Amino acid sequence: MQYDPCVFCKSDDISLDCSISIMGKLDADVTRCNRCGLLFVNPVLEGAKAAELYDGYWDPRSAGRKEIDRRYLRQYRWGKAYGRRLSRLRPGGRMLEVGCGQGFFLKGVADHCDWEVEGIDVATGAEQFGREKLGVTIREERFEEIEFPEQSFDLIRAKDVLEHVPDPMGFLGKIYRLLRPQGWVELWLPNGALDLAPARRAFRKGGRVQMNAGHVLFIVPRVLRGMLETVGFRVEKAEVSGFRYALKALGILRVPSRPGMSPAGAGAGTGGRQSLDAWTPPPHPRGLKGTLLYARFREWRSHHPALPAFLPLGFRQYVIARKPG
């Protein structure tokens, strides 16, 4: 089969690694670039085709009230801790969150710092939900297509986004252009080798795994650093975490699935599918769970313990990279 060249280094030295089913919507091959080591779905999906995979993926109307409340309180708590930390780093600035979902994290940040914050997401109804229910600015659009003036932001966050992007260099290049000098980007994404491990095991046995996360890139820490440095960033921090899930991916340990991590439509057991037109943010917990100390602890615990990324033992990567200037 004729494969597309590498989406990072443009090499045509490509070999088949395994085959997968993406969310039950598309059967695809995953290839390895023998020059840089990137693993990616091949042939490369065009932007519109990739976007079709995520239609309705995080529609807030597809989950029950209890599930939305749970997500809101967890993500708001993380945003609260993050906003206070931003205030200590810099008294003011402008932040963009790419892949912000319903905007719960953004709401927590906005309520606890003086930064101007906004988000962007392809989730159905995200813009209306953020505006009417939370009072935060969300643009319901693909990041690759939205237009901002260059050097518009001091900070851009992208959590669990890059692995969904068919053109990673275009994506990272746009982030670089939108950041002001000394601005920084924060990325969270899976360790590609571990993310793909179950599919590789099935492929060796002649099978094909359905990957419900919808990933089209499988990036290991070494390759991610190379991508960022090629664009012009200076990597300041690179960690891996999620060691239990690494063992699960390798087939060594069974880890129960976390609630609320299924695609849209999985409302069973969380209150069922229902209209959220009358939804309002639930009251915040009292006692210890309502304190900033608890918020900081839970945010820290979400990606710790962690190890340096040159020890690729964890399932998740966390990277901070800065634009020189």
- Percent residues over pLDDT 70 in the chain: 90
pLDDT in tens, 267-284: 333 444 556 678 899 999
pLDDT at position 270: 41
| 80/299 Cα distance (integer angstroms) | 9
- Global pTM? 0.91
User: Domains of the chain, with CATH numbers?
Assistant: 14-322 (3.40.50.150)
Beta strands, E only, 153-241:
153-159, 179-190, 209-211, 217-218, 234-241
Taking a C-beta distance cutoff of 8 angstroms, is the pair 58, 125 a contact?
A: no
Task: Note the helical H segments in 4-139.
Answer: 47-52, 65-89, 104-111, 126-129
pLDDT at position 289: 87
pLDDT for residue 183 is more than 90? yes
pLDDT in tens, 143-178: 999 999 999 999 999 999 999 999 999 999 999 999
CA distances from 139 to 20, 96, 120, 131 (A): 31, 11, 5, 10
Mean pLDDT of 232-251: 94
Lowest mean pLDDT among 168-182, 252-266, 298-312: 252-266
pLDDT at position 261: 35
pLDDT for residue 296 is more than 50? yes
pLDDT for residue 105 is more than 90? yes
**Averaged confidence pLDDT in the chain:** 89
| 157/272 Cα distance (integer angstroms) | 31
Mean pLDDT of 244-254: 89
Choose between 235 and 24: higher pLDDT.
235
| Predicted confidence band of residue 264 (pLDDT cuts 50, 70, 90) | very low
Lowest mean pLDDT among 16-25, 145-154, 245-254, 274-283: 274-283
pLDDT for residue 101 is more than 70? yes
pLDDT at position 210: 92
| 35/293 Cα distance (integer angstroms) | 47
- Bridge partners of residue 92, in order along the sequence: none
Mean pLDDT of 200-213: 93
pLDDT at position 59: 62
| Predicted confidence band of residue 64 (pLDDT cuts 50, 70, 90) | confident
Mean pLDDT of 63-78: 88
| 31/42 Cα distance (integer angstroms) | 6
**Other residues' Cβ atoms within 10 Å of the Cβ of residue 251:** 10
pLDDT at position 65: 80
Mean pLDDT of 74-93: 93
Phi (first) and psi of residue 19, to 5 degrees? -125, 145
Question: Edge-to-edge strands of the sheet including 39-42?
Answer: 209-211, 14-22, 26-33, 39-42, 217-218
Enumerate helices (H) and strands (E) in the chain, giving the number of each. 10, 13
Q: Please choose, from the candidates 44, 46, 50, 39, the residue with its C-alpha nearest in 3D space to the C-alpha of residue 16.
A: 39
For the chain, the residue count is 325
* Structure tokens given for 312: 């690729």
pLDDT at position 63: 67
